Structure 1
Amino acid sequence: MNDFLTLKSAMPLELNVKRHGLWRPRYELTDGVHSYGILRHEGFWRTKSIIETADGNWVITGKGWSGAEINSTTDGSSATTSGNLLGTTVTFSAHDGFRATFTKPSIWKNTTVWKAEDGTALLSIKSRGFKMPVIYIDVQAQQNRWMLLLAFLALQIHLTRQRHAAAAAT
């Protein structure tokens, strides 16, 4: 564990993404002062992602086109995502029963949102042209234990969609 903070200790409302490295990039979530974790990829085709946070490490392993399996290396908890990462919705299901859906509210907006089962917005990720995205966290949702993992999953989905769009354009 590096010098990462938890979301509960600092309560940021906006997280910026910093990219480190060119060939094997690492993506850091920061509020400008503190760092909350790092997302990095492993494998030749980047099929495995590792998230390092203050709460522990998470390993995301793809299940083909149908989603991903997420396992914690510290406390043994697990979660899954279902739905195509390139599709319109992705559903997150934790082992404790928590569920959230990642959707794009409008085709005309550059924002995608994680929503809880009751429809409340947990966090949103805003794409910016030629810049890294910004993640906005809802004030009421900051105490949720899955928020940092959902922020990294939003970044992972955003980067995956961006890579596929760039490959399709060539």
Structure 2
Amino acid sequence: MEQFRSFDQLRTNELSVTRNGFFRPSFNLTDGQFIYGKLSYASLWKTVTILETAQKTWTIKRKGVFSRTLIITGQNEEELGMVIPEVWSRRIKLNMNNGFDAEFLNKKLFTRTFSLVNDRYGDILSIKTGLWSFKTPFNITFNLDLLKNIPDLPLMALLGVNLILIKQAQSAATAGVGS
């Protein structure tokens, strides 16, 4: 974890996500100069996701084989929260054990922007998917003032990227079935 720069030293409100590798990709959260976090997979089948920053490491895995719910665990395997996709909706609920609740959603029907919204803080972050960009597929914008109020903002940014990647994989699998 020494390779990552701390989010406390972040001076810009826009970060990009760069893709490394093709068959076993990992994704770095960067401002162009420093790397602030990394999303990687622990297995070949992408069933376990590892999110790393300078301060913490989180693991994301499914609650069960046929469950849509994702469990967020910390470094000591303690459960920190859950990600629950709503049925027949584009909303994905984030429920942290510390009492923080938010929703990931696309605000408009045909948009490339995936937002994290909270009742208290409003729009926390926005992840914009790049069009036809393989090397830098995502741009993340957020309010720098929220870094002090929301301690797990790096987790939420990397988790949002992971949710978009899961949606893209599901869409690709569905498109491949019909052809």
User: What residue in structure 1 maps to residue 161 of structure 2?
Assistant: 155
Gapped regions of structure 1 (runs ≥ 5): none
After the TM superposition, list the runs of 4 or more consecutive aligned residues in structure 1 that deviate by more than 4 angstroms: 74-77, 84-87
Q: What TM-score, normalized to structure 2? A: 0.86
Aligned amino acid, residue 136 of structure 1: T
Give the counterpart letter for 1:93 in structure 2: N
Aligned to 2:146: 141
Output one character per residue of 1:124-145: Cα deviation in whole Å (capped at 9) or x when no partner. 0011211201111123322211
- Describe the shift of the 1:44–1:33 C-alpha distance in structure 2 as closer, same or farther (beyond 3 A): closer
Q: Give the direction of change, closer, same or farther, for the CA distance of 1:151–1:106 in structure 2 (3 Å limit).
A: same
Q: Is the 8 A contact 1:51 1:58 kept in 2?
A: yes
Percent identity over the alignment is 26
Question: Are the aligned partners of 1:42 and 1:49 in contact in 2 as well (CA < 8 Å)?
Answer: yes
Q: Could you tell me how far apart the structure 2 residues matched to 1:85 and 1:13 are?
A: 33
Alignment of 1:112-151 (within 5 A): 112-118=114-120, 120-131=122-133, 132-143=137-148, 144-151=150-157
Shift of residue 97, structure 1, vs aligned partner: 0.4
Unaligned runs of 5+ in 2: none
Q: How many residues align?
A: 170
What secondary structure does 1:4 align onto? coil
Q: Where do residues 96-111 of structure 1 align in structure 2 (5 Å cutoff)? A: 96-111=98-113
CA-based RMSD: 2.1
Distance, in Å, in 1 between the alignment partners of 2:171 and 2:82 is 24
The corresponding residue for 2:27 is 27
Aligned residue number for residue 12 of structure 2: 12
Query: In structure 2, do the counterparts of structure 1 residues 10 and 74 end up closer, same or farther at CA, with 3 Å as the change threshold?
Result: farther
Considering only CA atoms, is the larger Rg found in Structure 1 or Structure 2? 2
For normalisation by structure 1, the TM-score amounts to 0.90
Q: Which moved more, 1:1-10 or 1:84-93?
A: 84-93
